[in-house]
């Protein structure tokens, strides 16, 4: 069992069961969209944000991002971390058909990928955490200069970057900046962009 200091926020009970098999942490479910209408769920999340900090680990589909953004806007920025699972197409074993967007939810993602996502988010696991990369920060201007925003083909290039980093393609520019600065220094960012540019179409 991996002991995680932060309280983990997931969407459903099956996500919680999945994580509880290999992670020792407080885990709160949003009961899907119930977090929008049930004040008690958000109050619990706010309480744990004050006590332990929280990490949001929702699915990589549109619904997961709506839930993530709602919770994020309700909490102090310094008390919330974001763990992302990559876009992996498939269907959970217990379901008859894939979800609307055809992506695996947290419950269908492998333990290793979930653990890596929590580490990338900067969670304290078994008493230690990965620290953000040191050196020059990556900026929005760098994204623009690299062709990742504001130009023809920028979405495709952003998607290729997301794929190479194992993060969802729906990630916003602000969240992309945040995760890039946690995972990469500026030189590593430039190297990844060069590799993407050199790949054949």
Quick one: tokens of 199?
């790949």
Task: Provide the strand spans (E) within the chain.
Answer: 2-3, 7-10, 23-24, 27-29, 54-56, 80-82
Q: Is the pLDDT of residue 201 over 60?
A: no
Quick one: tokens of 104?
């695996």
Residues 6+ apart with CB under 8 A from 147: 153, 154, 157, 193
d(CA 175, CA 139): 12
Q: Is the pLDDT of residue 81 over 90?
A: yes
d(CA 148, CA 156): 8
pLDDT digits (tens, 9 = 90+) for 172-186: 878 889 889 888 889
d(CA 42, CA 74): 8
Q: Is the pLDDT of residue 98 over 80?
A: no
**Distance, C-alpha 126 to centroid of its chain:** 20
pLDDT at residue 93, as a whole number: 77
Average pLDDT over residues 169-173: 83
d(CA 192, CA 5): 32
Average pLDDT over residues 29-47: 96
Inter-residue contact 29 to 16 (CB < 8 Å): yes
CATH, domain range 2-120 = 3.40.50.140
Bridge partners, 89 (sequence order):
103
Question: Hunting for tokens 């876009």 — which residue is that?
Answer: 87
Q: Is the pLDDT of residue 167 over 70?
A: yes
Q: Report domain extents, the chain.
A: 2-120, 140-198
Q: Is the pLDDT of residue 75 over 90?
A: yes
Q: Which has more pLDDT, 45 or 151? A: 45
Q: Is the pLDDT of residue 101 over 70?
A: yes
d(CA 168, CA 196): 17
CA angle, 85 then 90 then 96, to 5°: 125
pLDDT at residue 200, as a whole number: 60
Q: Which residue, 87, 41, 35, 107, is CA-closest to 66?
A: 35
pLDDT at residue 198, as a whole number: 76
Neighbours of 114 (CB within 10 A): 22
In this prediction, residue 90 has a pLDDT band, given cuts at 50, 70 and 90, of confident
């Amino acid at each position: 069992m991996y002991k995680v200091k932060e309280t983990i926020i997931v969407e459903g009970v099956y996500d919680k069961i999945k994580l509880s098999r290999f992670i020792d942490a407080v885990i709160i479910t949003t009961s899907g969209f119930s977090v929008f209408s049930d004040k008690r769920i958000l109050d619990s999340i706010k309480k744990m944000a004050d006590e332990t900090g929280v990490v949001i680990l929702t699915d990589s589909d549109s619904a997961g991002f709506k839930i993530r953004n709602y919770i994020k806007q309700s909490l102090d920025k310094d008390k919330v971390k974001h763990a992302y699972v990559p876009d992996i197409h498939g269907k959970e074993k217990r379901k008859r058909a894939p979800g609307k967007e055809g992506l695996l939810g947290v419950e269908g993602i492998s333990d290793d990928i979930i653990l890596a996502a929590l580490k990338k988010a900067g969670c304290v696991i078994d008493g230690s955490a990965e620290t953000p990369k040191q050196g020059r920060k990556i900026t929005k201007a760098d994204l623009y200069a690299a062709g990742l925003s504001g130009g023809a083909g920028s979405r495709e290039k952003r998607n290729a970057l997301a794929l190479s980093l194992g993060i969802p393609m729906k990630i916003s520019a602000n969240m992309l900046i945040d995760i890039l600065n946690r995972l990469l220094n500026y030189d590593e960012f430039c190297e990844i962009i060069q590799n993407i540019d050199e790949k054949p179409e």
